[in-house]
Structure 1
Amino acid sequence: MKTILVTGSNGLLGQKITERILQTKQFNLIATCKGANRYPVKEGYTYAEMDILDPVQVLQVVKKVKPDAIINTAAMTNVDTSHEQPELARQLNVVAVETLTAIAASENIQFVHLSTDFIFDGADGPYDEEAAPNPLSEYGRTKLAGEEVVKRSSGPWVIIRTILVYGIVNDMSRSNIVLWAKGAIESNKLINVVNDQWRMPTLAEDLADGCLLAVEKNAQGVFNISGKDMMSVSELVAEVADYWELDKHMIKEISSESLNQAAKRPVKTGFILAKAINELGYQPRSFKEGLAIVDEQLRRRA
């Protein structure tokens, strides 16, 4: 049985990978993050505190647990924060990746790295794995630089690109567009939503499955892993309102320009998923199916 070390295990994707491994018992899991473990179940896997910005600590943990694969979910993913704190974004999205890839290569560990649709400018979506990147933001630039680090590695590596991940963690400490829209409309808040950006939102469980399939299949190279439905952000929010039977009058459609965001966003991304479906056996769910899964999880918590 392979042992997988996951960085950023307290995040949404990290927690979903933990959940999946505990369900399937297909892998041994070493969950790591900076600070205490926030996953509610503490049995059935090992947790180790590990700061990816501390190369000595990373090496100590990796040498001790000897994983077959590392899945790097840790990153700065907030687009505007990356714009405001470019050096921290560079440290987390590039420098830490240099540390992790070097250690993984030296120990012949498969390195699975998460990347983003924001490496593209959105002028020609949806994109396949061979499309030429052209990031518009500091976030996109640091994630692309992280990809380039991974591709230079002498060890086995996989890059998994994804889009607009949604889902819930047990303590509700992580928000995303689905939870934000649902919560705001339920609170009778008028929300501004752009109608001129298009995405393929990704259920966190699907992304976790994609990461684990890459390890199981001993994959190599770049794979697109996202949801299968292309929609504008305003259509996405309207579907959220429809699913939970909320008042769509609380949704105000606006253009991207009128939002005045510090960091530029690509207009239309989206992925062609054929490679992941054919080579990994990836099976993305529809957005409606994803909302049903989120709804079920919210009901269980109530």
Structure 2
Amino acid sequence: MTSRVIITGASGVLGSAVRQAFTASTTTSEVLSLAHTRSGDGLTKLDLLDSAEVERVFREFKPNWVIHCAAERRPDVAEKDPQGAQKLNADVPEVLARLSKSLKFTLVYISTDYVFDGTSPPYPPSARPNPLQLYGQSKLDGELKILGVEGATAVILRVPVLYGPAPRNSDTAVNILVDVVQDQSGKSYKMDHYATRYPTLTVDIANFLVKLSAYKKPIPPILHYSGAEPFTKYEMCLVFAQILGLPHTHIVPDAEPPTGPGATTRPKDCKLYTQETEELGLEDGLGLTLFEEWWTEYLKIQKK
């Protein structure tokens, strides 16, 4: 049976990859791609904070699956606008969970490894969350609100920092490091060499979600999906410098935790334990792409 799928945040880096994967899938009959400000090119503009309009659109489309990618994903921005982050990251998911209950669709909520404090990795889905900053707390609140809607069919998918095809490198916290490496103007950059990250390709997540939507057995309420290769941001810069054949002396490693005015607290190591996800037995498992291998090909294409 083919599925009707709604994707929120479909103009974003993850949402775009998810949209492309579901559109290309033979298990999907129709995809409704929602965006906050953009329309055209297959995108439908919808303000997710307008719950009445959201309900109207969802009832009219009658989805089988809703992949909720829309979020305030930037920790620094969340700190500056906590009310806005809370509305988008926590209140909207609750509305979608209630619609899941009434309209009988499966909701996938994209959450974050930042619900953990980074002190005792790896973290299984059952580990107790303890976010260190407002962003992580707002995403955890979204999880709790979804789980609090009795009768909703929902899957919380926690993921780490993402990279992938993007219109601008500034669209992701990983892609933008390419710009830092390429800036040979003499400007110096202090780069985080404190926190260990597990950068994960958006295309891999998108393909996993397509396979998950065709899964016939019960799905656990919380799943973890993560790349397996550990990097600090400084180490990612070294990879990009090597691929591009550029010097990196202008990038200075900083092994201290972020402190001082305006600094957003970040956990040291939030490695997600993914065995439960692997045990689902989906074709090709997690289907993870190697970081340096993908970037070598991608940057080669970008040069053309």
- Give 2:289's aligned residue: 285
1:36-70: CA deviations, max 9, x gaps? 237xxx3xxx6432111010110111011101010
C-alpha separation between the residues in 2 aligned to 1:69 and 1:293? 32
Q: Compute the displacement of 1:256 (Å).
A: 3.7
Q: Does 1:224 align with 2:224?
A: yes
Q: How many residues are matched?
A: 293
- Give 1:129's aligned residue: 125
Q: Compute the displacement of 1:159 (Å).
A: 0.6
Candidates 19, 23, 46, aligned match of 1:50: 46
Structure 2: gaps of 5 or more residues: none
- Give 1:184's aligned residue: 180
Letter in 1 for 2:265: K
- Give 1:31's aligned residue: 33
Candidates 122, 141, 144, aligned match of 2:140: 144
Aligned in 2, Cα 1:60/1:161: closer, same or farther, shift over 3 Å? same
Q: Compute the displacement of 1:243 (Å).
A: 1.9
Q: Does 1:164 align with 2:161?
A: yes
Q: Does 1:116 align with 2:117?
A: no
Give the TM-score taking structure 2 as reference length: 0.90
RMSD: 1.9
1:226-245: CA deviations, max 9, x gaps? 11112222212211221222
Q: Compute the displacement of 1:140 (Å).
A: 0.6
Contact 2:132 2:265 (8 Å CA) reproduced:
yes
C-alpha separation between the residues in 1 aligned to 2:132 and 2:253? 23
Which stretch has the larger CA shift, 207-216 or 27-36?
Answer: 207-216
Bigger helix share? 1
Contact 1:48 1:61 (8 Å CA) reproduced:
no
C-alpha separation between the residues in 1 aligned to 2:229 and 2:25? 27
Paired residues for 1:1-302 under 5 Å: 1-27=2-28, 28-37=30-39, 42=41, 47-153=43-149, 154-169=151-166, 171-172=167-168, 175-188=171-184, 189-217=187-215, 219-257=219-257, 260=260, 261-279=262-280, 280=282, 281-295=285-299, 297-299=301-303, 302=304
Q: Compute the displacement of 1:9 (Å).
A: 0.5
Contact 2:196 2:268 (8 Å CA) reproduced:
yes
Contact 1:192 1:252 (8 Å CA) reproduced:
yes
Which stretch has the larger CA shift, 113-122 or 213-222?
Answer: 213-222
Structure 1: gaps of 5 or more residues: none
Contact 1:147 1:159 (8 Å CA) reproduced:
yes
Aligned in 2, Cα 1:78/1:256: closer, same or farther, shift over 3 Å? farther
Contact 1:17 1:209 (8 Å CA) reproduced:
yes
Aligned in 2, Cα 1:51/1:174: closer, same or farther, shift over 3 Å? farther
Aligned in 2, Cα 1:274/1:194: closer, same or farther, shift over 3 Å? same
C-alpha separation between the residues in 2 aligned to 1:94 and 1:31? 21
Contact 1:178 1:237 (8 Å CA) reproduced:
no
Aligned in 2, Cα 1:278/1:297: closer, same or farther, shift over 3 Å? farther
Q: Compute the displacement of 1:173 (Å).
A: 7.3
Which stretch has the larger CA shift, 145-154 or 157-166?
Answer: 145-154
Give the TM-score taking structure 1 as reference length: 0.90
Q: Compute the displacement of 1:289 (Å).
A: 2.7
